[in-house]
Amino acid sequence: MSATPNKGCYMRKFLMAFGLCALVSVGPACAADFYVLDVTDDGHAILLDPATITDQPNTIKRFHLADIGVFTLWVDNIMEVDCSTERWRKVSSVSHLAGGTLEDEYGPSSPGYSLDWNALGPDSTGAYIHDVVCKWPADKPTGDAVYEAPSFQAVMEQISNRLYERENEKK
């Protein structure tokens, strides 16, 4: 999972650090990398926004992970992994439904809410996500796993449309 340098990406990050991206983007919008970490047989894709990976106390990392389905429906998850061991937990989750409806699926006000840690199975998608998050930014996904888009909304729509096309190809 090593990455090749992308001069455009480095320039974008440099400009964003100084708040100049919007001022100099006369041409195409500034883009960011997003990682598709899994595509399931039932028409869902797991998307990581690496810009949201933050260090928490100890060896914990927090990040935004989206479960995207067809028709631009998705679930926003705030997740944590412990980089010193194979475990994870969901901090919150919100479903985005048709028509822009939001549904608070899981959070501090939810019945049974718990910040208990869960073990990761060997060779599971969760273990792969754990490894990507814990090794980032030194080691990054490459190839088809990387989507470049100006925003989360844009990449989410691209992936949702592709999932829809894939479902229609099966019929």
d(CA 156, CA 69): 9
Per-residue pLDDT reduced to its tens digit, 81-90: 999 999 999 9
What's the distance, CA 39 to chain centroid?
A: 13
d(CA 6, CA 86): 31
CATH code, residues 31-170:
2.40.128
Arithmetic mean of pLDDT, 105-126: 87
Pick the more confident residue, 48 or 100: 48
54-58, 94-98, 114-118, 128-132: lowest mean pLDDT where? 94-98
- Phi/psi-derived region of residue 112, left when phi > 0, alpha when psi is between -120 and 50, beta in every other case: left
Domain locations in the chain? 31-170
CA-to-CA dists, residue 97 to 3, 70, 89, 102, angstroms: 35, 11, 23, 6
Q: Quick one: pLDDT band at residue 110, thresholds 50, 70, 90?
A: confident
Per-residue pLDDT reduced to its tens digit, 132-157: 999 999 999 999 899 899 998 888 88
Tokens representing 147?
Answer: 């989507």
* E-only strand ranges, 14-171: 32-39, 45-55, 60-68, 74-82, 87-96, 102-106, 118-119, 146-149
pTM as predicted = 0.75
